[in-house]
Structure 1
């Protein structure tokens, strides 16, 4: 006899129209009633703290190209870009729009410098601006990663778990993160044309629309906490005492129903889905933030919390395995 716990059977089609925290609460309450015990009531532990935005933003060097040199600005088609930056909107660019501007400027200036020049002094001036812009582009990219409001919301998380069954927006979030990692790669390769063609604002809009990363990290934390509460509740309930000296058949039948209908079909389905989402999205997020001051906290929020959830789930499965070995519960299928 072997418990059909992990991996989740693909043929399982239990339908649940509610989110993971509600499924876990429902499961916990049903177990508590049939076992005549009380579930612990403790607050969700705080997530690893993120460095404040104001402590992460770095000023960009104030580089100025003399707009009075009409020849240079027109020949390089920089006059429009310079005018855009000096406009009222340009002066209050968000970090993402500032990065987009810097990349377009670099791409255009690189193209301009590939032309032949008779004015050596002007060429040297443009080359100096180009080199300085290249050195400062990483600051602009990190400002976007660390201080953009949309990304910050995703990194902080929201108090809303994902659905028990398949969540929407996973593939869209994966695609948006993939585009941002490509942008990061293009910048490291100094491929300014390819980098300037990445629609940064669109990728951020996708992340904002689905809010998948924010909900995923909260779901991981919340499920870990709720599974821990269930395990604490079962600490003083030995499977042996439910079976000896004489098992209560009605109680065991109810437990078997709770196991099959609420643990396997809902709780386990939910945790398997969370692991799948994590495996798709975390590597991309880690790539983006690997060399930033937020990496350690994000690793704690996503990767470490996933490992903790899996440990709590494994402990809970062992309780059911022990019960199944002691009592005639119909929790197993013949293999």
Structure 2
């Protein structure tokens, strides 16, 4: 029995609506590219294989650098009251200070170092007793020595930084443009804090720091970049097999490489450069687990890391495609 024309119209309209809400995932985009390439080469698209998974980010105890806790009596601290550190230490030792996030502990330690260093390089030590002067010198030296490790721990102990590398993530959706300016600004500010940690003139800002960390927490961008590179390397390698198999056939090829692959390459390189610069800005030796993760996953130069694996597959893809004669319309 034929369907009523109104029902046929509804079915067709529904199909249009569903196609408008299609799959915009990276996997779907790569599948489309494989199909287009296979059609141009007059062959069948390859059966896609799963790309390798990213490693878990190192556990907390593997990421951090040990910093010994400083303990001193309040009478000894009060003796250094001219250094204006008593209220700062009291705020750190109250209930809210003890449960403050790593970022706020970083701000406290840097402010404490600034006051101790400024005090030591003033006339105040001349007015102190020998014991108090020696105590000030020892405390200033200790905090100067500890600050780089504190800065490292503030970042690598932060929930926002850890979530950026979460395995609960997917490849980035294919886009001709990708706005990661807020996340890039966050990395730039963190690096500036590291670079300026021993500056007496540069002042950190708590709300600015927290806003930048919030931007990092909005999405696991580091993991998304890595997953995108792994997927791209796998799908390009599969496409390269198609191209190599058809190389001896007398066929032409004029299929352009999708723009979103170039966008991925540009932003992935930009992001990895910034992440590596932030890690390497710290004047400390990274814990072994972090150093290994950086080499295996974040390196721009290691052949086995995702970036170089992607670059190798992409360069080969470009070379294989360029070997075909362009199609000329009649």
Band of TM-score, shorter chain: 0.7 to 0.9
In the alignment, what sits opposite 2:115?
108
* Aligned pairs for 1:1-335 within 5 A: 18=24, 20-32=26-38, 35-48=42-55, 50-68=57-75, 71-72=78-79, 74-113=81-120, 114-117=122-125, 118-120=127-129, 121-156=131-166, 158-169=169-180, 171-187=181-197, 190-194=198-202, 196-197=204-205, 199-209=208-218, 211-236=220-245, 238-241=246-249, 243=251, 256=254, 259-260=255-256, 263=257, 267=258, 269-290=259-280, 291-292=285-286, 293=288, 294-302=290-298, 303=300, 304-324=305-325, 328-329=327-328
Aligned length: 291
Contact 1:85/1:91 (<8 A) preserved: yes
Contact 1:155/1:298 (<8 A) preserved: no
In the alignment, what sits opposite 2:14?
none
Q: How far off is 1:226 after superposition?
A: 1.6
Which ranges of structure 1 fall in alignment gaps of 5 or more residues? Answer: 1-15, 244-251, 331-335
CA RMSD of aligned residues (A): 3.0
Contact 1:81/1:105 (<8 A) preserved: yes
Q: How far off is 1:240 after superposition?
A: 3.6
Structure 1 pair 301–58 and aligned structure 2 pair: CA distance change class (3 A): closer
Q: How far off is 1:108 after superposition?
A: 2.0
Which ranges of structure 2 fall in alignment gaps of 5 or more residues? Answer: 1-21
Structure 1 pair 219–63 and aligned structure 2 pair: CA distance change class (3 A): same
In the alignment, what sits opposite 1:3?
none
Q: How far off is 1:161 after superposition?
A: 0.9
Q: Deviations over 1:143-176 (max 9, x none)?
A: 123332211222346313144211112x322222
Q: How far off is 1:219 after superposition?
A: 1.7
Q: How far off is 1:27 after superposition?
A: 1.0
Structure 1 pair 241–116 and aligned structure 2 pair: CA distance change class (3 A): closer
Q: How far off is 1:45 after superposition?
A: 0.9
- 2: CA distance, partners of 1:89 / 1:229: 55
**TM-score relative to the length of structure 1:** 0.74
